[in-house]
Structure 1
Amino acid sequence: MEKRIINPWEWQDKRSYVQAVEVKNVESTLYISGQTAISADGISSDEDMKSQLIKALQNLEQVISEAGYECKNIVRLNIYTTATHELWPHFNIFQDWIAKHGIQQALTLLEVKSLFETLKVELEATVVK
């Protein structure tokens, strides 16, 4: 697999994403449903944004790992949140997770009216190998 990062500018570097990722000679692609702060028993979290973000990242990592992929090969990540003003103070948690895995992904962040039940943040990813 070959990955090429396209960044015409530098400002996105401080925001932990890239403008585009080109991938060639891919063995396989994993399209992951939105991962949230849902327990292994299927119970939606009613905790605060920080707790939900941490749990959503853990769930995303678990799905990637169990599928036999690596987080470093996330090429696309969409973040959906019901409240960007609640997410911003904890965005460093996301950025630290990205840095820990050496991820360089295209990213979209969207504020939505609601998510399933009591959920505040959802992470949808595409991973290659």
Structure 2
Amino acid sequence: MQRTAVNPWDWSLKLGYNQAEIIQGATRQVVCAGQTAVDANGNPQHPGDMRGQIGLALDNLEAVLTSAGMDLSNVTRLGIYATDVEDALKNFDVLGQRFGAAQSAPPMTLVGVTRLAIPGLLFEIEATACA
């Protein structure tokens, strides 16, 4: 698979993502459901802690990707939902560290929501990955 970044402007690069990517030669695609800060039994973790919830949501996303034979470097699109956008942005370095280590800057959207499906959750991340 070959990925080519498309960035008519460079402002998004400073925030850690490309405006678009051209994906060529992919043979498999995985569409992941939204991952949150829950344990293996679906119980919410890190109440009131955005940073902790982002970290666990990313752990859970990586577990799903690993089960599909992929990792964060295969992610081609992210959808992110947060109950407090400002708090999420303050902790976006967690995403930057994880995706930076994978040398990946997938296009993403961050949306503020009034709540998520399970009370107490603050952050949810969904992904599309290709290989």
The verdict on a shared fold, with TM-score over 0.5 as the criterion, is yes
CA deviation after TM superposition for structure 1 residue 104, in Å: 2.3
CA deviation after TM superposition for structure 1 residue 70, in Å: 2.2
Alignment of 1:33-112 (within 5 A): 33-45=33-45, 46-112=47-113
Give distance in 2, aligned partners of 1:13 and 1:19: 8
Give distance in 1, aligned partners of 2:79 and 2:89: 15
TM-score by length of 1: 0.95
Root-mean-square deviation over aligned CA pairs? 1.0
The reply on whether 1:114 has 2:115 as its aligned counterpart is yes
CA contact (8 A) 2:78 2:106 kept: yes
Runs (4+) off by over 3 Å: none
Q: How many residues align?
A: 129
Give distance in 1, aligned partners of 2:26 and 2:92: 30
Match in the other structure for 1:16: 16
Deviating more after overlay: 85-94 vs 6-15: 85-94
Please state whether the residue corresponding to 1:57 is helix, strand or coil. Answer: helix
CA deviation after TM superposition for structure 1 residue 89, in Å: 1.9
Aligned-residue sequence identity (percent) comes to: 33
Give distance in 2, aligned partners of 1:32 and 1:86: 24
Match in the other structure for 1:128: 130
TM-score by length of 2: 0.93
Please state whether the residue corresponding to 1:53 is helix, strand or coil. Answer: helix
CA contact (8 A) 2:48 2:122 kept: no
Structure 2 gaps of 5+ residues are none
